[in-house]
Amino acid sequence: MPALPGLGLTSIMIETKSLTKKYGDLVAVDDLDLRVEAGELFVFLGPNGAGKTTTIKILTGLLQPTSGIASVAGIDVVKSPIEVKKIMGYLPEDLFLYDKLTGREFLQFVADMHGVQNKQDKIEKFMELFELSAAANELIEGYSLGMKKKIAIGAALIHDPKVLFLDEPTGGLDPRSARMMKDLLQNMRSRGTTVFMTTHILEVAEKMCDRVGIINNGKLIKVGTIDELRSGTRETAAGSLEDIFLELTGGTQEDWVSQFLDDVANHS
């Protein structure tokens, strides 16, 4: 198997071939070819509406593609969605939680679904790590957004998945929990878990990723390590991922912002 740019020869954990998803006339994911190696931390970037969540939903078996192939650990996600769900964890952008369960009950429920051994011990340790112990017996409906997110993270991790799909994992978390999340992901990666995540926080992507894929209007426009991306743009070695991202996805809108504010001021 050929090596991916910037990486050695290993096995492919996530793969899409000519993956396409249409919503009516709108092509949300357009002929996407992507490969992520086992143990890699891959960050999928793109502007709002670029097709990131749609891609993740197909890879996690929640959405049928219009055409093309998507596989995780060599398993076709369309043909065998249950098999794929056994080995993956998923943190969705819109959290799916049961509001009438307590945080602890929800994690127990998810752990039971996956047949997790020593679930009580694992749940208590997770609650402690994310400072949820005091709220463990309260109904999820009373949780703040950040607390709900932490419970959803626990649900994605409880069965020690081989592959983790995370849609905006740090969004809505306070600084301490966001740091905890980043440490957790780095640690999982170093233990061999494959991580596929989206984020709009480019600093997070830059610090953590092995490789980045940039999608715009459903099309993969660039993929590689940060250095590889930099060498394909006008950016110098000092150029940040934000600079690279903005160049590849249409530049900044500083002039437009200034014009807009002038217009607003002229009409007041």
Residue 70 interacts with ligand ATP (CB under 6 A): yes or no = no
Only segment of 51-59, 75-83, 105-113, 227-235 that touches ligand ATP (CB under 6 A) = 51-59
Instruction: Single out the residue of 78, 92, 106 nearest to residue 16, CA to CA.
Output: 78
Instruction: Show the beta-strand stretches assigned E in the chain.
Output: 12-23, 26-37, 41-45, 67-72, 75-76, 88-91, 163-167, 194-198, 211-216, 219-224
167 contacts: CB under 8 Å, gap ≥ 6: 52, 53, 56, 91, 92, 93, 197, 198
Please identify which residue in 35, 52, 149, 189 interacts with ligand ATP, judged by CB under 6 A: 52
Instruction: Kindly state whether residue 68 participates in binding ligand ATP, applying the rule CB under 6 A.
Output: no
Is 51 near ligand ATP (CB under 6 A)? Answer: yes
- x/- letters, 19..48, toward ligand ATP (CB under 6 A): ----x--x-x-----------------x-x
Residues paired with residue 44 on neighbouring β-strands, in sequence order:
198, 213
> What number of chain residues touch ligand ATP (CB under 6 A)?
12
CB of 212 to ligand ATP, least distance (A): 14
At 219, phi and psi to the nearest 5? -105, 140
| Residue 54 near ligand ATP by CB under 6 A | yes
117 contributes a contact to ligand ATP by CB under 6 A: no
Q: Where do contacts with ligand ATP occur on this chain (CB under 6 A)?
A: 23, 26, 28, 46, 48-54, 93
